[in-house]
Amino acid sequence: MAKPLIAGNWKMHGTAESAIHLASQLGQHWNDQSKAQMIVFPPAIYLTAVKAELDGTNIVLGAQNLSQHSAGAFTGEISADMLADIGCEYVLVGHSERRAVFGESNSTVAEKFSAAQRAGLTPILCVGESLQQRQQDQTIEVVAGQIAAVIDLAGLDNVCRAVIAYEPVWAIGTGETASPEQAQQVHSAIRAQLGDAGKDTTLLYGGSVKAENADKLFSQPDINGGLVGGASLEANDFLNIAQQLTEQE
Ligand code: PEP
């Protein structure tokens, strides 16, 4: 069975104080690790402080980005080993903001994915189509291509032991959400692409997940949890969403 996950991407928001406060509130109220794993992705500069706050809780730490390089003269970059060294267990790879704003190609994403796994981190591979691609009926093809690029470099088994997050670009931070049926259609295509090896792979949905729409999304057969941006910045909202995941059959 795929492991249910609820992931909070804090993006480039907050201060040291607010990050620690949010981690502390989540840590105090989240103790149900048996039904779902909670992961938070603070800004890199606050990872260590948040990690200290989460010690002794059931919440684990992830990073929003990593370098594809292992070490060397790469000013400003952070390697997978460094993230593992400070206690990260997960890392986002190929988030649409990294692809669109920072020009990360499918091949860079694949290199980052492999670098993460080499360091013992679990990558969450983010994939998704733009509004234009959806309107041109290219959704399944685009998502399959993004995943295939990583399979080509890392191999199918390695992709299957990671996590994949389907995040339609037009739904991220816009308040627009894919309908549960739209999301399930893509998730089931991803599951089919992975074949037998991917029957237990955790597939997340991301894109304006909120307390009001989480239940119906999480009840879809191939959706095993959520990657949440905006609504993960408020402890009560995020806890409410996480709770809805634990209540699924
Ligand atoms: C995200 O950052 O991955 C995301 C899904 O953001 P939001 O929930 O704000 O749409």
Weakly modelled stretches of the chain, pLDDT under 70: 32-33
**Could you report the per-residue pLDDT of 88-108, keeping only the tens digit for each?**
999 999 999 999 999 999 999
Q: How far is the CA of 207 from the centre of ligand 1 (A)?
A: 5
95 assigned to active site? yes
Q: How far is the CA of 72 from the centre of ligand 1 (A)?
A: 32
Percent of residues in the chain assigned helix, strand, coil, to nearest 5: 45, 15, 35
Instruction: Decide: 188 and 227 in contact? Cβ < 8 Å.
Output: no
Tally of CB atoms within 10 A around 217: 26
The active-site residue out of 53, 95, 97, 187 is 95
46 lies in some domain = yes
117 lies in some domain = yes
- Domain at 133, CATH number: 3.20.20.70
**What pLDDT shows up at residue 176?**
87
Which residue is closest in CA terms to ligand 1's atom 1?
Answer: 229
- String of DSSP letters for 90-133: EEEES-HHHHHHS---HHHHHHHHHHHHHTT-EEEEEE---HHH
Return the ∠ at Cα 60 (arms to 88 and 163), rounded to 5°.
Answer: 80
Longest dimension (CA), the chain: 49
Atom of ligand 1 nearest to the CA of 92: 3
Which residue is closest in CA terms to ligand 1's atom 6?
Answer: 229
Q: How far is the CA of 230 from the centre of ligand 1 (A)?
A: 6
111 lies in some domain = yes
Atom of ligand 1 nearest to the CA of 208: 10
| Substitution candidate for ligand 1 out of 167, 169, 238 with most atoms within 8 A of CB | 167
Domain count within the chain: 1
- Ligand 1 pocket list (CB less than 6 A): 9, 167, 172-173, 206-209, 227-231
Tokens of 148: 């295939």
Instruction: Decide: 116 and 66 in contact? Cβ < 8 Å.
Output: yes
Atom of ligand 1 nearest to the CA of 96: 3
pTM of the full structure:
0.97
228 lies in some domain = no
**What pLDDT shows up at residue 33?**
64
212 assigned to active site? no
Atom of ligand 1 nearest to the CA of 174: 10
49 lies in some domain = yes
227 lies in some domain = no
The active-site residue out of 111, 129, 167, 187 is 167
204 lies in some domain = yes
Which residue is closest in CA terms to ligand 1's atom 7?
Answer: 229
224 lies in some domain = no
Domain that holds residue 48: 5-219+234-246
